[in-house]
Amino acid sequence: MKKPSYWWQIFGFLFASAAGTLLHFVYEWSGKSVLTAPISGVNESTWEHMKLLFVPMLLYAVVQSFFVKDDSYWCAKALGSLSGLMAIPVLYYTLNGALGKTSARVNIALFFVSAAVAYLAEWYLLKKGLPRCKKGRGILFFVLVAVAFAVFTFMPPELPLFRDPVTGGYGIG
């Protein structure tokens, strides 16, 4: 198969939504194991919710890469993931700014909307193609973001994006 069908994107969205929701609880379920911390949510910060979208998207991209043979695959996946990752803080802070506070239901809906944004962007980019983008650039994006999520889980900067609104703390601490 050269270009993926929209079914790949629908399954990706469903997988990322379900796996991201489960990853929200894995750190607690594991007894707060540091081994699960780099891939699961360790607090309620916006950054940690971004990780909950990134990890399933990366896993799905790796699996899908064995079936999709497209020169711009990894670049499209990287740009789609970036779209979803950016949507989370943009939507969250915009709604919080407009409404003063959002409910848990709204925040969950924002996660699903962000996942949809990511997979729609990917589908568009895969359909259109990115002839000037090299495979290595897309893979480099995923490696750098994965490292950032792991590092900032344990050593987050004291910025609002990393602050847990429930405890006021940062990172795993």
Domain that holds residue 91: 6-162
Does 168 reside within a domain?
no
95: amino acid identity, one letter: L
- Domains identified in the chain, total number: 1
Structure-token pair, residue 154: 């344990």
* Residue reference for tokens 């939507």: 91
Does 64 reside within a domain?
yes
Summarised one tens digit per residue, pLDDT across range 68-109 is: 888 789 999 999 999 999 999 999 999 888 888 888 898 899
Summarised one tens digit per residue, pLDDT across range 36-70 is: 999 999 999 999 999 999 999 999 999 999 988 88
Does 171 reside within a domain?
no
163 φ, ψ (degrees, to nearest 5): -80, 130
Does 28 reside within a domain?
yes
Interior angle at CA 43, CA 60 and CA 155, nearest 5: 90
Does 173 reside within a domain?
no
> What is the pTM (predicted TM-score) of this model?
0.93
Does 167 reside within a domain?
no
* Residue reference for tokens 């409910």: 103
Summarised one tens digit per residue, pLDDT across range 107-149 is: 899 999 999 999 999 999 988 877 788 888 999 999 999 999 9
Give the separation between CA 157 and CA 74, rounded to whole angstroms: 29
118, 60 contact by CB (below 8 A): no
51 φ, ψ (degrees, to nearest 5): -60, -35
Give the separation between CA 144 and CA 22, rounded to whole angstroms: 24
Does 169 reside within a domain?
no
Does 172 reside within a domain?
no
